[in-house]
Each structure stands twice: as structure tokens, then as C-alpha cells.
Amino acid sequence: MSSEAINAKTKKVGLIALVAGIAGLAVAGVGLFQGLGADDARPLMSWLIGVAFWLSIALGMLFLTQIWYVFHARWPVIIRRQCEHCFAAFPWLLLIFLPLALIPLFHENPGILWKWMNGANPLPGHGTVGEDPLYSWKTPYLNIPFFLIRVFGIFGVFMLISGLLRKWSFDTDKTGDANNTHKARRLSSIGLFLCAAAATLGAIDWFKSLEYHWFSTMYGVWFFAASMRAALSSILILCVILAYKGHLKGILKQAHRYDIGCMMLAFTIFWTYISFSQYFLVYNANIPEETFWYNIREKNFDGTLNSWWWISMCLVFCNFLVPFLILLWYKTKVVVWRTVAISAWILIFHIVDLYWNIVPGKLPTTDHSEGYLVRQFSVTPFDIAALIGVGGVCIWAVTRSMVKTEPIPIRDPNIAKSLNYTE
């Protein structure tokens, strides 16, 4: 298939994705307005889950690209170009996130999603947010103006660093200037720390502060590990598709897939280590301000198991044990259908992990004998619509980038070693 035919097909895929994305966002937007009207946070969480999933993939690819630059990795040069295309999603992710970020400026209950934004919001069993001493200690950080500044600052870091890396890589295709690669390596050595700080702040602001009483110093690392797994799984699926139907046919080798599979195994272990360590430290410390976060993900106020207990077990066995055991096998990392299958599996349970971190919460109840209610696990049509909607826009942005430049970095100093890479 000629390059023109592939580009035409890519544009068609992008157009279909854009239509699906607009339709998905429209349906999710109905849920958003319903939630705002009924003062119900759950439909708003659908929008947040959609953004979180696709942002984690783009962010993981940004980390991957910088790690490859810092370690001067030669084998993933052809894969790096596909990550660079995915960076095009960052501005659109900011635009889609804005409806949530601007709620406190325009809604009568600014704390409908992040309860700390409204001091009048009731707390289970003890007054309101404004009367909460734990919140009063956190107000220098948890306040609406500073929150909005951080939203633009966090996305600004992602867009600036990814934009420069894209620009220098694409410019090298035209000029062959190796200095662009040196500049990208220098930026990445600093950018890794900036992106780590920005990703940590984003995870704290957007997910952890949903239950602002909770405290964990490992939460940002959890989001990093989860993002890396999602990015590796996504880039493997994308590269396999391009190897069969696109520009990477005859270019992507078994050795490339094998190394991505090895990294997937490594970050599966790392995600598990971080998740278990966080649980273990909270369990041992046994401080109420920390343990409640896990308690509501296992039991109701009366001690009975709730729906999140099953999700917790699902994460242990399906998000760790199954991928870990399967990725130990050599054939899983080189047989195409097996690598694609385990990548899809990881992405599905990455979504489950995001549900587990975002949706549960303490809900006040008028019957004080019950203490509080727990928001239970559920999958709503608005969840699915948001995932499709945000994903459609992101895929469209990626396909737009693909047709504007070379499919691989043809004049990169290390392109020959990537093309001829073997196990």
C-alpha cells in the first residue's frame, strides 16, 4: 500500500474517531448537566474517569520518551515517533478537562465534585467542611484559586515539554541536525523531574483530594506506575496495528515487541510494589485519617463487605497476578496475538484501577445511626460515553499528527540501529 493510501486511510480513521468522540462527549455532557442539576457527583466522575484514562496514556508516553532520551536508548527510535504523535492529545485533554475545573466558578455548589471547595458541604457525622480542623490546616493548598493555577500549570508543563520534544524530532527529519537530539536529551534530564512533580500534583488534586482527609506520600508514584503500564500497552497495540495496516509494516520487529513486553512486566511488578507498600504502611500506622480510605473500599459502615471489596480482589488477581504470570513467558512477549491480548487486558483493568481510586467516597446520611454511606461500584452509560468521547478526540489528534510528518524519524542519528535491532 502506498504512503498516500495509508495517509488517506489514517485520515478516514481520524474522522470516524472524531465523530465518535463528539457523540460520546455529547452523551457524557448530558450526564454532566444532570449531575450539576441534581447536585450528584457521580455523573461528573464519569467525565473525570474518561480524562484520567486517556491522560494517563499520553503522560506515560511522555515519561517513556524522556526515559529513552536520558538513557540514550537506540532500539525504540521508531516507537518513539508514535509516542510523539500521541503528545498531540495534551491540548485537547486540557480543553476537555476544563468543564470540571471551572465548575467552582459557575455552579452554586462549587464543591459538588471536590467537596472541600464548598465550606458548607456536610461531612458524615461531624459538621461541615468549613468547620473541619483537618481542612483548615490544608487551606493554603486546597483553595480554588490555587487549584485553578495548578490545573493550567500542570498541563502547561506537559504541553511545553512534549511540544519541544515533538518539534525537535520533526525538525530533524528535515534538517538532519543531530543537535536536536542533544537538546532533547538535555531537556529530558530536567523534564523527567518536572513531569514527575506535575503528575504528582495532578493525581493529588484531581483524584486524592476527592477524599481530602486522606494522606499518602506514595500516591503520585502509583499514578506514574499506572500511567507507564497503560502507555506501554497502548503503544504496543498501536505499533502492531501500524505494522499490519500502516507505515510500520516490515519495520517493527519481534525484538521491539519483546522489549516492550519486558517493560510491561517490570512496571506490573512496580505498580504492585507501590500499591502494596502504600496499603502496608497505612495498615501498620493505623491512623484513622489514613485507614478510612481503605476501609470504604472494603466495608460499609456496619462492617458488611461492600461492592468495592470484590473490585479490590479483582485488582490483586487481575491487575497484578494474571499479567505477571503471563508476561513471565517468553512467547507472550513475541507472539503477536498474545502481546496484544495482554495489553488489552492491562488497559481494561487500568480503567478498573481508576474506578477504584476515584469513585468510592463517604456520603453523609440523615440517619446518624448509619454513620455514613459508601458510594458503591457501578458502570454507567455516562462512563462509557466519556471514555469513548475523550478517546475519540485523542485518536483524532494522533491521526492528524501522523499525516503531517514522516512515519519514523528518518534522519535521527540512531535510526539505523533501531531499524536493524535484534534480540
Domains of the chain by residue range: 3-419
Nearest CA to 316 out of 281, 286, 342, 279 is that of: 279
Question: What mean pLDDT do residues 299-311 have?
Answer: 94
DSSP for 158-190, written as a single string = HHHHHHHHHHHHHHHHHH--THHHHHHHHHHHH
Given a cut of 90, whether residue 3 has pLDDT beyond it is no
The pLDDT value given to residue 64 = 98
What digits encode the pLDDT tens for the residues 70-93?
Answer: 999 999 999 999 999 999 999 999
Please answer whether residues 306 and 298 qualify as being in contact, where contact means their C-beta atoms are separated by less than 8 angstroms.
Answer: yes
The pLDDT value given to residue 89 = 98
The pLDDT value given to residue 224 = 98
What is the band of 369 on the pLDDT scale with cuts at 50, 70, 90? low
Residue 404, SS3 per DSSP: coil
Nearest CA to 65 out of 199, 290, 228, 221 is that of: 228
Alpha-carbon torsion (15, 384, 347, 213), positive or negative: positive
Given a cut of 80, whether residue 376 has pLDDT beyond it is yes
Q: Buried b vs exposed e over 262-291: b needs ≥16 C-beta within 10 Å? A: ebbbebbebbbebbeebbeebeeeeeeebe
Given a cut of 60, whether residue 15 has pLDDT beyond it is yes
| CA atoms of 144 and 113, how far apart (whole Å) | 13
Nearest CA to 379 out of 36, 42, 22 is that of: 42
Please answer whether residues 184 and 175 qualify as being in contact, where contact means their C-beta atoms are separated by less than 8 angstroms.
Answer: no
What digits encode the pLDDT tens for the residues 17-73?
Answer: 999 999 999 999 999 999 999 999 999 999 999 999 999 999 999 999 999 999 999
What percent of the chain clears pLDDT 70, i.e. is strictly above it? 99
What digits encode the pLDDT tens for the residues 133-158?
Answer: 999 999 999 999 999 999 999 999 99
Instruction: Write the CB contacts of 27 (distance below 8 Å, at least 6 apart in sequence).
Output: 381, 382, 385, 389
Please work out, in degrees rounded to the nearest 5, the angle formed at the alpha carbon of residue 99 by the alpha carbons of 347 and 211. Answer: 65
What amino acid occupies position 27? V
Question: What mean pLDDT do residues 197-219 have?
Answer: 95
The pLDDT value given to residue 149 = 98
End-to-end CA distance of the chain: 28
What pairing do the DSSP bridges indicate for beta strands 373-374 and 362-363? antiparallel
Please answer whether residues 33 and 26 qualify as being in contact, where contact means their C-beta atoms are separated by less than 8 angstroms.
Answer: no
What digits encode the pLDDT tens for the residues 102-122?
Answer: 999 999 999 999 999 999 999
| CA atoms of 392 and 23, how far apart (whole Å) | 9
What digits encode the pLDDT tens for the residues 377-396?
Answer: 999 999 999 999 999 999 99
Gyration radius from the chain CA atoms = 22
Strand (E) or helix (H) holding 329: none
What is the band of 419 on the pLDDT scale with cuts at 50, 70, 90? very high
Which grid cell is 294? Answer: 481503605
**Burial of 171: CB neighbours in 10 Å, binned 0-12, 13-18, 19+:** middle
The pLDDT value given to residue 368 = 57
Question: What mean pLDDT do residues 301-329 have?
Answer: 96
